[in-house]
Structure 1
Amino acid sequence: MGRERQQSHDTGKVDTTCVVFAAGTYFNERPSIPHDAFVVAADGGLDHARALGIRADAVIGDFDSISGPVPEQSGTIRLPEEKDDPDLLSALKVGWVKGARIFHIYGALGGRVDHSIANIQILARLAAHGGIGYLFGDGTVVTAICDGSLAFTADAATRGAGRMISVFSHSDQSTDVTERGLKYQLEHATMLNDTVQGVSNEFLTATPALVSVGKGTLVVTFPIEAGLPHVERLHAFSGNLGALSTAVSAALATPRRSA
């Protein structure tokens, strides 16, 4: 499904892909594991990986939603129940340290809407540091791109012809937004995160499609039939997702009442 590995426009190297199994809904879709991918199971996602006969290279979480035993292996990382970082973000941090900049994430859509929103926010965090993540679920893919573009080939667009592609600004303001090769064209526009301007566009038959942003972060949803796009970025990115955190920030901590 789509490209198994993606080439970095900035460095010319091929980035490692990390496949993450989260604990949410799988919609009877069988995940595709790219060759040489690093596989991480986040908490209850381990149950899904086991059911599919897939062995995770790393397992991480507080294991409050796992039904089977916690594996005794070198790649098992146990986290406390009370912490700032959700299990999915911790899983992505593990993959990032292993060199992954492309993340295929299953079980992160559907179910609890607050989890879905949180997972989309995590996509934006990935994009801000030059990574890219794809959430797969119910025939739809969700991704985020920062200061760059997503290009779909004519063949890919034809597979998704007539299906919806939607574009939202995650940043307060995203500038120089262009949408080409779609039913509704957009050239060098400004999109805001409190204004709906890019919902329910459509792929055209035999027409390559492009979604790009000069400055800002876009969240893009598209049909799984279209396959994964070619990603290019306008500049190099720095920073990382941060170290694994088991702390509760002072802003979130509340004093416990004595009995």
Structure 2
Amino acid sequence: MVPADSFVIAADGGLDHARALDVTPDVVVGDFDSITGKRPTPDERTVELPPEKDDPDLLSALKIGWFHGARLFHIYGALGGRIDHTISNIQLMALLANHGAIGFLHGNDSIVTAICDGDLDFAANDVKPGRMISVFSHSDTSIGVCEKGLKYKLSDVLMTSTKVNGVSNEFRHGLPAHVGVTQGTLIVTFPAEAPLPQVSWHHAFKGDLGPLDTQISSALVECGLKPHAA
């Protein structure tokens, strides 16, 4: 259910899903190579991108949302399907986290998010045993990782991007849970039925996601690729 006051952005094939749910996007963005329905009518709500570009369509959507003041992002239909797209989408959650924002990827009965130099606090819940919460270091090193209120407790642990020591933990019935990192970026996956966590950070962040990439990349041009006809 999309809240009535949400700023909705449909990224490429996401327009098919928005139409199916009878949701009218505030902005439609993409090169529209994956849409199966009717292409959007060019108007002030449509941002058509070139096929060859550096930014994936989701990043373009996040940049538009950021420009409109969003710092909390819920992304639907971004898990499953092509594995390269899934990895890309997870990396984009880390990008948001590194700028002091938070994004949640929803799909396949799971949610994926990222947190940088901060904490995720889950309210007490009744998630069934066997539904896992897992934590991974996206940065080369993550210092001071803590997990509390879960089946397996971690306290001030060092995680690295090549050491798996936070996979397959579980919520405990009726207890709140906490995942935090003093310095570094964590990827956190948890069941869709778990409560969304309260997010807090240890410091302020600077910068933004950068301008919208609507031009053919110079790197692609140098490689000999030519723009497609609009």
Instruction: Tell me the alpha carbon deviations over residues 28-81 of structure 1, each in whole angstroms, 9 at most, x when there is no partner.
Output: xxxx21241100000111011001100000000111122213134311101100
Asked if the contact 1:162–1:204 (Cα under 8 Å) also holds between the matched residues in 2, the reply is no
CA distance in 1, matches of 2:182, 2:215: 36
- CA RMSD, 1 decimal: 1.5
Identify the residue that residue 175 of structure 2 maps to in structure 1. 207
CA distance in 1, matches of 2:219, 2:2: 39
> Which letter maps to 2:9?
V
For the pair 1:165 / 2:165, whether they are aligned, the reply is no
Q: Report matched runs for 1:37-116 at 5 Å.
A: 37-66=6-35, 67-116=37-86
TM-score scaled by structure 2? 0.93
CA distance in 2, matches of 1:256, 1:153: 51
CA distance in 1, matches of 2:15, 2:43: 13
Aligned positions, number: 224
Q: CA deviation at 1:173?
A: 0.1
Identify the residue that residue 245 of structure 1 maps to in structure 2. 213
Asked if the contact 2:122–2:177 (Cα under 8 Å) also holds between the matched residues in 1, the reply is yes
Identify the residue that residue 223 of structure 2 maps to in structure 1. 254
Q: Report matched runs for 1:186-205 at 5 Å.
A: 186-205=154-173
Question: What's the secondary structure of 1:242's corresponding residue?
Answer: coil
- 2:186 is aligned, of 174, 199, 218, to 218
Relative to structure 1, is the Cα distance of residues 43 and 105 closer, same or farther in structure 2, using a 3 angstrom cutoff?
A: same
Identify the residue that residue 122 of structure 2 maps to in structure 1. 152
Question: What's the secondary structure of 1:70's corresponding residue?
Answer: coil
Relative to structure 1, is the Cα distance of residues 61 and 162 closer, same or farther in structure 2, using a 3 angstrom cutoff?
A: same
Q: Report matched runs for 1:228-239 at 5 Å.
A: 228-239=196-207
Q: Report matched runs for 1:3-42 at 5 Å.
A: 32-42=1-11
> Which blocks of at least 5 consecutive residues in structure 2 are unaligned?
none
Q: Report matched runs for 1:167-186 at 5 Å.
A: 167-186=135-154
Relative to structure 1, is the Cα distance of residues 69 and 249 closer, same or farther in structure 2, using a 3 angstrom cutoff?
A: closer
Q: CA deviation at 1:165?
A: 0.2
Relative to structure 1, is the Cα distance of residues 209 and 75 closer, same or farther in structure 2, using a 3 angstrom cutoff?
A: same
Relative to structure 1, is the Cα distance of residues 199 and 43 closer, same or farther in structure 2, using a 3 angstrom cutoff?
A: same
